[in-house]
Amino acid sequence: MEINELERMARAIRRRDLEAVYAAGAGHIGGEMSVIDILTALYFRVLKVYPDQPKHPGRDRFVLSKGHTACALYVTLAKRGFLPEEEIATFLAPHSRLNGHPNCNKVPGVETNTGPLGHGLPVAIGMAKAAKLSGAGYHTYVVTGDGEMQEGSNWEAIMAAAQFGLDNLTLVIDHNRFQQGASLADTNGLAPLRPRLEAFGWEVAEINGNAMAEVVPALEHRASRPYCIVAHTNKGHGISFMQDRVDWHHKVPNKDQYEIALAELSEAL
């Protein structure tokens, strides 16, 4: 897809995500809205994946470490053809395979179970290292939240990636500046993230993570060492009353709010 097509797809995914969260009465809509541009660019432009063969050995690997934003991933996977679009209506329903966190044993296209923060990046580094050992040509991508970067396991993994020279690994940090209950700065202010990653031997780029024209080239870049994209995003991006509001980490809109949000996203389509 070209940039304008990706932008349109991202808006459609945002609208469907909103509908699913509202219908389910639960979700993590703020962080879903912030990461959707990244997911869209990955699945509709960058990733080498095969919806009809989700376990194809040559596929690129993608890990959504911030697994609480699973609904955004499910909608993206459905739009890409990994599962029926009508199945999104079952999000969080009893016996649905579309749980609050992704499950690789149930949902095609999900590479590993995520939810406990600080696990996805270490797993992704294992995938990248496995490719090096076996001579496989796939690339591994992982998206973490910025609050998640407070987990010490991530920094151990970052050291390991540099030690192993994993130039087949791309980390994207969804830097929306808020986590559950507070801002990043008020909890454990890691910013600025770029010099911290560079100090560990990584190549780092900083972009507007809600601007598709910046997201695509950053994701398509290939480095000679582990590569991190610090994606500056907005919590609740695309919905005026949600944007940059910490209470929308996992708040669900009421009927009036839902109609306002739906109208705003519909205008953008």
CB atoms within 10 A of CB 258: 16
Q: Sorting pLDDT into bands at 50, 70 and 90, what band is 268? A: low
What is the pTM (predicted TM-score) of this model? 0.96
Delimit the domains of the chain by residue range.
3-268
Q: How far apart are CA 163 and CA 176, in angstroms?
A: 29
pLDDT (tens digit, 9 = 90+) per residue, 19-45? 999 999 999 999 999 999 999 999 999
The DSSP secondary structure of 116-167, one letter per residue, reads STTSHHHHHHHHHHHHHHHT----EEEEEETGGGGSHHHHHHHHHHHHHT-T
The answer to whether the CB of 117 falls within 8 A of the CB of 145 is: yes
Q: How many CA atoms lie within 13 A of 135 on its CB side?
A: 0
End-to-end CA distance of the chain: 16
Q: Retrieve residue 83's tokens.
A: 């599962």
| CATH H-level superfamily of 3-268 | Thiamin diphosphate (ThDP)-binding fold, Pyr/PP domains (3.40.50.970)
| pLDDT tens for each residue of 124-163 | 999 999 999 999 999 999 999 999 999 999 999 999 999 9
Q: 231-254 pLDDT, tens per residue?
A: 999 999 999 999 999 999 889 999
Please choose, from the candidates 128, 66, 78, the residue with its C-alpha nearest in 3D space to the C-alpha of residue 102: 66
